[in-house]
Amino acid sequence: MSSITPLIALGQAAEPASRTPLVIIGVYMCVLFGLGWISSRLFRGSSKDFFVASHSIGPFMLLMSVFGTTMTAFALVGSTGKAFSLGIGVYGLMASSSGLIHAACFFLVGIRMWSFGKKYGYVTQIQFFRDRFESKKLGYLLFPILAGLIIPYLLVGLIGAGTYIGGVTRGMFPGTFDAGAVPGWLTGLVICGVVLFYVFSGGVRSAVWANTFQTIVFMIMGLVGFIVIAKGIGGLAEASELTRQHAPEKLVREGLMTPAHFMSYMLVPLSVGMFPHLFQHWLTAKSAKAFRLTVIAHPLCIMIVWVPCILIGIWGAGLYAEGSLIVPKLPNGAPNANTVLSMMVNKFMVDPVLIGLFSAGVLAAIMSSLDSQFVCVGSMFTNDFVVPMFGNKRFSDRQKVWLGRGFIVFIVVITYVISIFKPMSVFNLGIWCFSGFSALFPIAFAAVYWKRVTTAGVFASVIATAVTWVLFIHDALGRAAGEQWFGVKEHGEYLIAGVMPVAFICLASVVALVGVSLGIAAAIRHNTWVDYFAVGLGIAAQALPNFIMGPILILTFTLWLGLLPGGGWHGGQWQYLIMPVIALSTSYMGSIARITRSSMLEVLNSNFIRTAHAKGLPARTVIWRHALKPTLLPVVSYLGPVFVYVLTGSVFVDMYFSTGGLGQAYVGSALSRDYAVLLGVTILYGTLTVVVNLLTDLAYAWFDPKIRY
């Protein structure tokens, strides 16, 4: 009897629930099989047709495919669960900003990249970046990063689908599965199999056809389901009133999120500018005019989908607070927000046929993104890894198609296995994925609008993005609460200094991109505004020694703005390190920048550089292969003494910020006549000076082949 009680508590009858919804879902899967078979008959057999549909997609299908591929479980299951947790402010977090920013990205970046892709025959964005910056190595760097970011995006779909179907099918198979529900592993297996079939057969053309059909299905069924749920509660006014009475905090943004938290979310929609699968959909357009409908109608489509999901989420919060909606618990005892949509459907949709149709719509939204991403990873593997490494002539057109298909199967298997063992919040998983793509957006924007962006700047931006993303996600997911290095969890979200990690990841990306590009441009474009700007910054930095910078930073960021703590170590927490690091390094950074500029100018005027140019070598090859090493000789010479200066100069920094470093120990031992400590620190300084100078001398041989020891 006790085993039946939980099912009754969840609103399920003691008898097995009707399996009609599952039958309807099965019929829908068969329809997709048929659609995939029909579209595969139109496949022309070429790699261009498999990867970009021969640039033959018109305005309506482009809108449906682009919108469908951006609407995943993140938009349906995830947004409903997030609204259940954070309230109505979730709409502003993602939907309103996404509508505007997505359209701007399509217009400013999408059309330009489509024109380059059609002109030069690109099928992936990495091909564009590789040619734009004349670097194969950049392609090899971007491929694993983009492929790695796509996997969490795929997980969003599989985890969301498994959670939703598990909630809808509760009680259908008592004694067969846990709680009588279809398990997530089985749902994921079926979805992967269906999507893999039509993608494997027809490539991106099949994905576009399926996306168009599925987008229409989930938009129609989503509106129907919303109306039915609203009527089940008693109408729109009654549902909102119920939430106002039992969960009023869900109807306002204040209290659950700060303005800084809210504004930092606006960086997340920039991810569409770097989605590989979206770039591939852009390339399928027949002409630039095909983008018009997408730019205009995309924000309206987002509103049509997100508004019902957000309202269902906050209504669910009111019902849960009232006690009339039972939501399954997570292992930590908190309600599982991912199941809110399925629980609302179970509670208010009585007709099994209607439940089945609505569930088919939810799966349509999820699968309309999975298929595009599957094609995308196969295209990237073939065109961005295998072909550049082994040569284009080594593979026939047919072999390229099969290479893409093989990698698609590999990624599907990997993603499916991970989805079984690593379940987590659909919304938060999506945010981490989008944060990585958002931080890479500056290189896409700079590639089409900034002529002076450099290859080194792009490398620095990609590496900075990868390092900060891995560091933050490890801190958020790999460390226990209370032991995290950078941020804390508030209302289920990992925040750093009150904002989303995407803000700091994007900042690192932009600083690396702009800083490195301007530094190189200052030497290459002598006596231009770029040169004057860089030199001015260097002089300003050099004119501010650490005993001046320290008080300025404390006055500005601690006493006036109150953003950073004024001193202390506290186990090396990041917020206590920012000002000491800036105070200690600013002056030396200015000196290094000026030395690098002067040395680069001298080397660029050398005879061997003129010879390299006369041979017809590209400017980037001349700079990075021939001019860079000689340029760094004076810099290396300066870095040796600087290391010692940093140690001795830390006396002032330690005193100002109370960091308890060697400088403070050195001064304290001298004032207290502690000769043992004083002697020990002196010997340490002397030993480090000798060792660093030795390493500097040894480094000369690598930078200058004429030097031998």
How far is Cα 644 from Cα 688, in angstroms, rounded to an integer?
Answer: 8
Q: What is the arithmetic mean of pLDDT over 300-313?
A: 85
pLDDT at 45 over 70: no
pLDDT in tens, 645-674: 776 667 777 777 777 777 777 777 888 888
Query: What was the pLDDT predicted at 359?
Result: 83
Confidence of residue 5 (pLDDT cuts 50, 70, 90): very low
Q: What angle do CA 444, 446, 448 make, to 5 degrees?
A: 75
**Rounded-to-integer distance, Cα 270 and Cα 174, Å:** 45
Write down the pTM of the prediction: 0.72
CA 66 from chain center: how many Å?
18
- How much helix, strand and coil, in percent to the nearest 5, is found in the chain? 80, 0, 20
User: Of 375, 398, 69, 71, which Cα lies nearest the Cα of 206?
Assistant: 375
Whether 359 and 224 have beta carbons less than 8 Å apart is answered as no
Q: Which of 51-55, 139-143, 210-214, 449-453 has the lowest mean pLDDT?
A: 51-55
10-19, 55-64, 505-514, 570-579: which range is least confident on average?
10-19
Query: CA 381 to CA 707: how far, in whole Å?
Result: 43
For residue 9, pLDDT over 50 is answered with no
Confidence category of residue 427, pLDDT binned at 50, 70, 90: low
Per domain, the residue ranges of the chain are 5-36+57-426, 546-703
pLDDT tens per residue, range 251-298: 776 656 677 777 777 888 888 888 888 887 787 788 888 888 888 888
Gap between the Cα atoms of 573 and 506, Å rounded: 21
Q: pLDDT tens digits, residue range 192-246?
A: 888 888 777 777 777 777 778 888 887 888 788 888 888 888 888 888 888 888 8
- Whole-angstrom distance, CA of residue 707 vs CA of residue 372: 55
Query: Residue 251's closest CA among 76, 89, 95?
Result: 89
Strand pairing report for 493-495 and 488-490: antiparallel
Residue 478 confidence (pLDDT) above 70? no
CB 348 within 8 A of CB 266: no
**Residue 610 pLDDT > 60, yes or no?**
yes
Q: What is the pLDDT of residues 322-331, one digit of tens each?
A: 888 888 777 7
Query: Which has the minimum average pLDDT: 48-52, 117-121, 298-302?
Result: 48-52
Residue 600 near residue 631 (C-beta atoms within 8 A): yes
Q: What is the pLDDT of residue 253?
A: 66
CA distance 312 to 340: 9
Mean of all residue pLDDT scores within the chain = 78
Answer yes or no: are the C-beta atoms of 49 and 203 closer than 8 Å. Answer: yes
Residue 529 reports pLDDT greater than 60: yes
Residues facing 174 on adjacent strands: 177
168-181 pLDDT, tens digit each = 787 787 777 777 78
Rounded to an integer, what is the distance from CA 82 to the centroid of its chain? 18
d(CA 189, CA 416): 7
Tens digit of each residue's pLDDT (9 = 90 or more) over 624-637: 777 777 887 888 88
Q: Residue 1's CB: how many other CB atoms inside 10 A?
A: 5
Quick one: pLDDT band at residue 483, thresholds 50, 70, 90? low
pLDDT of residue 445: 92
Q: Residue 142 is which amino acid?
A: L
Q: For residue 554, give both structure tokens.
A: 């404390």
Asked if 95 contacts 302 with a C-beta cutoff of 8 angstroms, the reply is yes
- Give the domain 546-703 fold: MetI-like fold (1.10.3720)
Note whether 16 and 173 are within 8 A (CB).
yes
Residue 138 structure tokens? 């950049």
- Mean pLDDT, residues 46-70 taken together: 72
Q: What is the mean pLDDT of residues 467-494?
A: 73
| Cα–Cα distance for residue pair 164/77, rounded to 1 Å | 7
Q: Nearest Cα to 415, choosing from 153, 197, 202, 29?
A: 153
% of the chain surpassing 70 pLDDT: 88
Compute the residue count for the chain.
709
Write out pLDDT tens, residues 65-84.
788 777 765 666 677 888 88
Q: Contact, 243 vs 314, CB < 8 A?
A: yes
| Farthest CA pair distance, the chain | 92
Any idea which fold 5-36+57-426 has?
A: Sodium/glucose cotransporter (1.20.1730)
Amino acid at site 597: R
Q: pLDDT by residue (tens digit) across 360-419?
A: 887 887 777 777 788 788 888 888 888 888 877 777 877 887 888 888 888 888 888 887
